[in-house]
Every structure is written in structure tokens, then in C-alpha cells.
Chain A
């Protein structure tokens, strides 16, 4: 546990059951301000479900979630809306609004925040697109973008309002190694430039090793390991080693 008296995000005893399947069983987690926590784990281990809880998109079966000292479990959708403005989320497929161009997508949070000045909006959109290296693609529609570009636009849409914390759901999944690397650099750059707290869900070990201040390994609905990346690499625990080396155990 972190020594910070008021962590960015604090999770206590988070349990989630969907139908009869227990996805998360008592997760305790604390993320300090400015820290980059990488949550790793196999597909279906509940990583994305955990992430969606942190911004109130899913309601836990039991447990507490505190964001900047405020308990969010039990809040109504309209009460969550202001909190969500301080925590951004980048979705696995980008989740761009497909009826809008790149520019409109990125400008969306600004317009929703009440910004009406076209010049200000254009300048801020250009700045956000510059961060993700997508200047000059403003007029394209999401259907005409590659997977990596979609994720970068999604990132620009998240950072344009300068949230204190950004949640990334599989930022590098399905991308080629070069694009993956550029996304990893982007996450680092955002952290350095704006000091944002980042929580990254991934099963990409290279990504984890590169960006993490701390790694949490989610296994069978529990935090199996929580510590520095170097510690994880040196661990002799068979489950952790299997994951790092990418070994399947059940196959004879």
C-alpha cells in the first residue's frame, strides 16, 4: 500500500460477480498521484472489468472505490459525471464516435464542457493531435483510420481536457510492434509532460516493462503480485514466470 494519505485511486475489497461467475474477488489497490500502474494478466482475468469499475462504468457487487478521496460506489450516473471529468479512459478499440470526424471527436469533450469559441477549439485540437502525432488528419472519418490511429485519436480525445488520471484498456493490443512502441512512448510522454496518473491494463510484457512504475498481476480475480517491474521479472513464482515467458501449463 502506498504511504500517500490521499491516493488518486483507492480500491478496497472490490468484488464483482456477473451472473454466477465471480470475475473479481476482493481486489485491494492503491494508486498514488503521478504514478503509472500497469495491470497485467491473462485474457479473461478481469482486467478490463476492473478498469471499468474505476470510472463507474460498472457497479461492483461489493467493495469500495475512492477517487481523489471520494467514494464513487453507489453514486448515481449524474453524480458520477463531474468525477469522470477528472479521470479519462481510452477504450480498447478506441470507441471513437463513428458519425464524427477526427477533429469533431477530439473536440467533443471541449464542446461538452461548454467551449464555443471555434478558434480556441481548433487550437486545442491541434495541440492534442500534435501530442499523438496525428496533425493533418483532422478531416478523416474513424472508418478510414487504422487500428493504431484510432487509438491515438482516442488518446487525444482523452487528454484534451487534461484529466488528472487516464485509464488505458489494452493500448497496444492488436498493433504492430512499431506502432505499439510509439503508443508506449506516448503514454510516457503524457506522464512526463502533464504529470498524469496512469493505469494501464495490458498483457503485453514489453509495454509493462517500459512504462510501469509498478506492476500488479491479476490472476483468477485476485491481485497475485504487486510491486516493481524488476521484482516481477526476478520472481521465481511459477505462475508469474509462466505468464512472463508466455508458457501454457495445461498442455501436456
Chain B
């Protein structure tokens, strides 16, 4: 009896979760549609977009460099510890490079940007929402999507691939430094293997993922901000949700994206 009731309740909440997930996807689709139709009107506010690129791109570099650098370094070290027992020291470069390009670079950059930029965006838009600034925009005949969402969307779209590239580049250099200078892998072999196994397909995969994650972070952060509920609690919740949802979305989408992209850019 208790079990049935428990299952019943679990079932109801599962259905509720399912419906709220569907509603969330609906919200995101509507926002994506609004964004695209705003872009189609070709009245992009470039000044605001540049300002946002400064905020999300330029100012995210420290975070991305530290993340890329230390991930590349630790990844090289761990790979070396395992491969050294098999006398495959020189393969470390290839492993580090390919995984930085295909997975670690885009995903870690995405997560860091979701945390840093997604939070800031949803907090800013959310505060505007609860202080009636969004209503003020609308009352002045300005569409909030034109003014707030599109510049942020474009800024992330332009910045994210560059940040991913930066993260990957620094990661590979850090890995090389650790493997060659600290662990004594011969540099010539390291670089040769790395270049032999890394190809343009890996770069394309990294950049494609960067674009997709940029879209995810921008839409989710703006959706959370625009739907923030009254008061400081509302803004706080919107900010947390933006970070959590966009991080999870990146991880989940990344898995499926990897499978799909592997068809177009198969691993060498």
C-alpha cells in the first residue's frame, strides 16, 4: 500500500518534471524564434553587441586560460603516468591534443562561461525585470529581445569559438610543457605524434561545439532573466537556475553532439 502510494507520488512528480521540461523547451524555442526574427529585421544594435563582447569575451579570458592551462597540464601528467608503464611516452601529446580539441576545450569553456557569463546575464536581465525596467523598455516601444537578448546572443556566438580556441591552445601548450620539461618526454616525438593525430576535423569539432554551447548559454540565461519573479529571491533563483540548467544542458547536449559530429568529423 505504502509502496503503491510512493510509486504513485513518484509517478506524479515524474510527470510534473516531464511537463515542466517540455514547457522549458517551449520557452527556449519561443525565445530562439523571437531572436531569429529580430535578427531577420537586420536592426542589430552593434554598439551594445560590442559592449557585450567585451563583457563576455574579453573579460572571460583569465578564467578560460586558467581552466585550459591547468586541465592540459594535469591531463598530460595523468596520461604520462599511465602510458609510461607501457613505454608509450611519446603518445601523450596526441592524446592531450585530440581530447582538448574534441571534448575538454569546448565543454570546460562552455561550463566556465555558463558560470561566469550566464550568471551575470540572468542577474542583470532579472534585476531589470523586477525593477520594471523591462516594462519601461516595452513602454518606450523597444522590444526587449531586440535590445537585451540579441546583443548578448551575438556576443556569445562570436566570442565562444574564440574562447574555446584559446582554452585548447593554452591546454596543449601547458600539456607539452609538463610532459617535455617536467616529465622528460622527448620533444620531437611529442610534437610529431601530436601533429600526426590532430587534424582539421578536430578543430571543426571544437568550434562547432563552441557555437552550440554559446547558443545554449545565451538563450537559457536570457530566458531565466526575462522570467525572473519578483524580489531579490526571484533574481537569485533565476541566476542559480541559469547556471545549473545551462551547465547541465551543455553536458547533455555535448554527448549527443559528439555522436552526431563524429559522423561528419570521424576521429582519426
Binding site for B on A (CB under 8 A): 52, 55-57, 77-78, 80-82, 84-85, 88-89, 91-93, 95-98, 108-109, 112, 154, 157
A84 and B138: CB pair below 8 A? Answer: yes
Chain B residues whose CB sits within 8 angstroms of the CB of A95 once the complex forms:
131-133, 135-136
Residue of B nearest to A99 (CB): B124
Instruction: Say whether B188 faces chain A, with CB atoms less than 8 Å apart.
Output: no
Chain B residues whose CB sits within 8 angstroms of the CB of A91 once the complex forms:
132, 135-136, 139
Q: How far is the CA of A55 from the CA of B138 in the complex (A)?
A: 9
Residue of B nearest to A113 (CB): B141
Chain B residues whose CB sits within 8 angstroms of the CB of A77 once the complex forms:
138, 143
Residue of A nearest to B34 (CB): A77
Residue of B nearest to A161 (CB): B140
B131 and A98: CB pair below 8 A? Answer: yes
Residue of B nearest to A58 (CB): B135
A93 and B140: CB pair below 8 A? Answer: no
Instruction: Say whether B142 faces chain A, with CB atoms less than 8 Å apart.
Output: yes
- B interface residues, tally (CB under 8 Å): 13
Contact of A78 among B131, B136, B143 (CB under 8 A): B143
Residue of A nearest to B144 (CB): A77
Interface residues of B in 141-166 (CB under 8 A from A): 141-143
A102 CB to closest chain B CB (Å) equals: 15
B143 CB to closest chain A CB (Å) equals: 6
Chain A residues whose CB sits within 8 angstroms of the CB of B141 once the complex forms:
81-82, 84-85, 109, 112
Chain B residues whose CB sits within 8 angstroms of the CB of A82 once the complex forms:
141
Chain B residues whose CB sits within 8 angstroms of the CB of A89 once the complex forms:
135-136, 139
List the 4 closest pairs (A to B, CB-CB), nearest first.
A95-B136, A95-B132, A84-B141, A89-B139
Binding site for A on B (CB under 8 A): 128, 131-133, 135-143
B132 and A108: CB pair below 8 A? Answer: no
Q: How far is the CA of A116 from the CA of B143 in the complex (A)?
A: 20
30 A-B Cβ contacts within 8 A?
A52-B135, A57-B135, A57-B138, A77-B143, A78-B143, A80-B138, A81-B142, A81-B143, A82-B141, A84-B139, A84-B140, A85-B141, A88-B140, A89-B135, A89-B136, A89-B139, A91-B135, A93-B132, A95-B131, A95-B133, A95-B135, A95-B136, A97-B133, A97-B136, A97-B137, A98-B131, A98-B133, A108-B140, A109-B141, A157-B140
B187 CB to closest chain A CB (Å) equals: 50
Chain A residues whose CB sits within 8 angstroms of the CB of B132 once the complex forms:
91-93, 95
B156 CB to closest chain A CB (Å) equals: 19
A109 and B138: CB pair below 8 A? Answer: no
11 further A-B contacts with Cβ under 8 Å, apart from A85-B140, A91-B135, are A55-B139, A56-B138, A81-B143, A84-B139, A93-B132, A95-B135, A96-B136, A97-B128, A97-B133, A112-B140, A157-B140
Residue of B nearest to A97 (CB): B133
Residue of A nearest to B133 (CB): A95
Chain B residues whose CB sits within 8 angstroms of the CB of A112 once the complex forms:
140-142
Q: How far is the CA of A112 from the CA of B131 in the complex (A)?
A: 21
Q: How far is the CA of A55 from the CA of B128 in the complex (A)?
A: 19
Residue of B nearest to A92 (CB): B132
Chain B residues whose CB sits within 8 angstroms of the CB of A81 once the complex forms:
141-143
Chain A residues whose CB sits within 8 angstroms of the CB of B135 once the complex forms:
52, 57, 89, 91, 95
Chain A residues whose CB sits within 8 angstroms of the CB of B140 once the complex forms:
84-85, 88, 108-109, 112, 157
A156 CB to closest chain B CB (Å) equals: 13
Residue of B nearest to A84 (CB): B141
Residue of B nearest to A85 (CB): B141
Most buried by A among B137, B139, B142, B143: B139
Chain A residues whose CB sits within 8 angstroms of the CB of B138 once the complex forms:
56-57, 77, 80, 84
Residue of A nearest to B41 (CB): A78
A125 CB to closest chain B CB (Å) equals: 15
Residue of A nearest to B136 (CB): A95
Chain B residues whose CB sits within 8 angstroms of the CB of A92 once the complex forms:
132
Chain B residues whose CB sits within 8 angstroms of the CB of A80 once the complex forms:
138
Chain B residues whose CB sits within 8 angstroms of the CB of A52 once the complex forms:
135
Q: How far is the CA of A92 from the CA of B132 in the complex (A)?
A: 9
A124 CB to closest chain B CB (Å) equals: 15
Q: How far is the CA of A108 from the CA of B133 in the complex (A)?
A: 13
B136 CB to closest chain A CB (Å) equals: 4
Chain B residues whose CB sits within 8 angstroms of the CB of A108 once the complex forms:
140
Q: How far is the CA of A113 from the CA of B226 in the complex (A)?
A: 24
A81 CB to closest chain B CB (Å) equals: 4
Q: How far is the CA of A202 from the CA of B132 in the complex (A)?
A: 18
Chain B residues whose CB sits within 8 angstroms of the CB of A96 once the complex forms:
133, 136
Q: How far is the CA of A93 from the CA of B141 in the complex (A)?
A: 19
A165 CB to closest chain B CB (Å) equals: 12
A185 CB to closest chain B CB (Å) equals: 24
